[in-house]
Structure 1
């Protein structure tokens, strides 16, 4: 649905979009929109819910932007409505940790770990247990919330164009592996180790193990050509012997045996809808932390009634008189 297909409450220009990777994310497995979807909510929350439900994916969901995009409610009223929608089970704010090695995401992660902030929206009200399972990827029929939303271009070809395509356009030769190329280039670095195609193909498996253990082409070549005898009568046999004898250690296996891997920190952390404090789903029922729900971190002692104060005062005075020494 295009962003322009909103209700009359959305003035021009269209609702602003968040940065790629941020903003609104609709949960899967929802029924189509129907009149009365939000009839169980108070009028203000129902209006904001209908407004949010029609927004595009990745639309900005902060209170300031929503307040500017509709004519009825200001920023504070929108913030209160978002809290009501969270308590009713329609939305949750989430921090999503994105590693620099992640591929296929819609976020430019740069060179370090980043957090993106998303608001997951559900037209159907969900309870706290459902949201906890969803954020853990444990909802039947629902994709993991960590799965990025990506689109791929679809290319179609007509039968005529396929029949006119040259053979080179249809069938491509497989590219040689890095291990094969490194073996073939040994002869350039050291003519005494010039290998044939058959030699490279036979030794490719051993060479590939080097690269699987972290070796690069420069290190591979340096180790194999160092300290050669004056005359090399069988380059293939010599290279095969060196590939086996000088195989680098498997550091990944050694590190795994030395110390068990620590579990990675959670990739998804829920946030309080009001104050944005992070926490696990069980600590934020209704999407709100304890402070924003009106709770306190410590119980405040109740004040004593006046009669009890008088009794306590009389007891203290009696104890003082008993403890005073008699005067002679």
Structure 2
């Protein structure tokens, strides 16, 4: 019996995942991972960036959780490193408004915010991150150039056309010829007319009758009528004796044709609202107000107003005289 190695190193616990909808979110990035991809960063930021890059989407990205997984640095060091990675263009914090399908006590829709940290293996400038929030992000191609996402389809030259034509010819030759006994499945309008005689024997139609009336029946279905509704309209209120089923069905299809439904108005799908946050203090703001992912205060500036300028000595004497006069007035009264 083999003895168990009690000195074996236990595997490290997996990095905790954030709640669904939160945590790390990989930004569109076509460049693969490669050694030395973060050599442009200082040692601490390089170490933390390599660790974050290996995390899966949805992993917790707060400084406390990262510090527990990184024994070399504490929470404050991790928080400072995240700010530096934001300045370098590798990450941005955003919040997104989500309309929940669940309803509150009063029956109204519940709106909640989810918080994500977008991570890019490639350093991006503030303009690129702003375009990401607007949904207009360029896609990287193999030669390093950048094209718009909706224009990424390559043009086809004559050589490609020739190759495609040859492949199509080979595919056509590989397909066995269809047997003369095989027929395509009839349309829903044709099937409805063919079943009409089974529902009402007085309206039994031949194959030629169904083919001649197929277009009219198809117009009914195109205007929103179901096959069951079409059949009900044709068999309702029949006379006791039907001498020409085809003529009767043709007249009913023509005279009882339902009106055309107006085309539904196309409403663009509401875009998910993304708001960028300061990487340090989490204050929300527009991308142009958060260059490098940091607000003015966290970048080392100040948001306080400039102190008022000192009054000249003559104005100070005038103000003092006015105050003394106001104090003496009650005493004189």
TM (norm. structure 2) is 0.58
Equivalence for 2:230: 220
Give the superposition deviation at 1:62.
2.9
Equivalence for 1:125: 123
Give the superposition deviation at 1:126.
1.0
Q: Map 1:231-242 to 2 at 5 A.
A: 231-242=241-252
Give the superposition deviation at 1:116.
7.6
Could you say if the C-alpha distance between residues 306 and 195 of structure 1 is closer, same or farther in structure 2, counting changes exceeding 3 Å?
same
Contact 1:27–1:121 (CA<8 Å) still a contact in 2?
Answer: no
Aligned partner (choices 191, 211, 224) of residue 201 of structure 2? 191
Matched, 1:266 2:271: yes
Q: Map 1:154-169 to 2 at 5 A.
A: none
Equivalence for 1:155: none
Equivalence for 1:153: none
Distance 2:187 2:308 in 1: 80
> Which segments of 5 or more consecutive residues in structure 1 lack a partner in the other structure?
1-10, 101-111, 145-165
> Secondary structure of the residue that 1:215 maps to in structure 2?
coil
Could you say if the C-alpha distance between residues 53 and 310 of structure 1 is closer, same or farther in structure 2, counting changes exceeding 3 Å?
same
Alignment deviations for residues 292-327 of structure 1 (CA, whole Å, 9 cap, x no partner): 76889x8646256597795574153277489x69x7
Matched, 1:286 2:292: yes
TM (norm. structure 1) is 0.58
Equivalence for 1:55: 55
Distance 1:45 1:126 in 2: 16
Give the superposition deviation at 1:143.
4.7
What is the aligned-residue RMSD (CA, Å)?
5.0
Could you say if the C-alpha distance between residues 231 and 52 of structure 1 is closer, same or farther in structure 2, counting changes exceeding 3 Å?
farther
Alignment deviations for residues 148-168 of structure 1 (CA, whole Å, 9 cap, x no partner): xxxxxxxxxxxxxxxxxx999
Give the superposition deviation at 1:52.
1.8
Decide which structure has the larger Cα Rg and report it: 2
Matched, 1:317 2:323: yes
Equivalence for 1:33: 34
> Secondary structure of the residue that 2:237 maps to in structure 1?
coil
Contact 1:28–1:142 (CA<8 Å) still a contact in 2?
Answer: no
